[in-house]
Amino acid sequence: MRERVLAAATELVARDGIERFRYEEVAELAKVNKTTVYRNWPDHVELVIEALSSYDADSVVLKDSGDLRVDLAEFLVALADSLSTPRGRALSNVTASAPENEEVTAIVDAAHERRMATMRERLDKAFERGELPPVDVHFLTEMLSGPVHLLLRRGRRSFTREDADQVVDIILAGIHAVHAE
């Protein structure tokens, strides 16, 4: 029952955000009585926090194949896949709908920081190998992941491997061009 309620809460936050989150819908989707939801989670934000805290941001891996371009493109495809799940969509929605809630913000920040640590580790190796001139890792990660978030948020189409290749090529070309001057 607990897993069904958490999954239902995640799905509803993914669809509607926190501002339109209703216990009645959670109970209906989870196929439990509404009082069961109220009894176990008297505060709806606590239910959202528990549902989202199980999100595994580490599932987005940044491999080290020795080819930075390929590794970054694969990372973007994995990121898009992760953000397309109910939990990924829910995390994106709560950022916009509950920025004042410190616990929710902490969950989103922790997921983001795990991805940044992965990116930082791979890019440090790229800097050491001369694959890439030293750049701000946080800024580069935001530049790479921004188009993924934008395309998925707009919902017009999925994010493809071709999109990933194009984003990576443009950003890497820009970095090399700026540092060649």
Tell me the pLDDT tens digit for each residue of 23-74.
899 999 999 999 999 999 998 878 888 887 765 544 677 889 999 999 999 9
At residue 158, the pLDDT reads 86
The runs of H, that is alpha helices, within 31-180 are 34-40, 44-53, 68-83, 86-97, 102-129, 137-154, 161-180
* Span 107-123, pLDDT tens digits: 777 777 888 888 899 99
> 2-52 and 56-180: same fold?
no
Eight-state DSSP code of residue 64: -
At residue 59, the pLDDT reads 61
Pick the CATH number of 56-180 from 3.40.50.11690, 1.20.58.340, 1.10.357.10, 3.20.20.70: 1.10.357.10
Nearest to residue 168, comparing CAs of 138, 136, 135, 146? 146
Of the two residues 168 and 181, the one the predictor is more confident about is 168
At residue 58, the pLDDT reads 46
CA distance 90 to 13: 5
DSSP result, 2-62: HHHHHHHHHHHHHHH-STT--HHHHHHHHTS-HHHHHHH-SSHHHHHHHHHHT--GGGS--
Residue for token digits 């992965």?
118
Mean pLDDT calculated for residue range 79-101: 75
Task: Map out the domains of the chain as residue ranges.
Answer: 2-52, 56-180
CA distance 55 to 24: 23
Of the two residues 131 and 180, the one the predictor is more confident about is 131
CA distance 13 to 6: 11
Residues 5, 37 contacting (CB under 8 angstroms): yes
Of the two residues 132 and 84, the one the predictor is more confident about is 132
Nearest to residue 60, comparing CAs of 70, 74, 50? 74
At residue 37, the pLDDT reads 92
* Span 120-166, pLDDT tens digits: 999 999 999 999 998 999 999 999 999 998 888 887 678 999 999 99
At residue 27, the pLDDT reads 93
Our CA dihedral for 112, 114, 120, 126, rounded to 10 degrees, sits at: -110
Mean pLDDT calculated for residue range 156-178: 93
Fold of 2-52: Arc Repressor Mutant, subunit A (1.10.10)
CA distance 106 to 166: 32
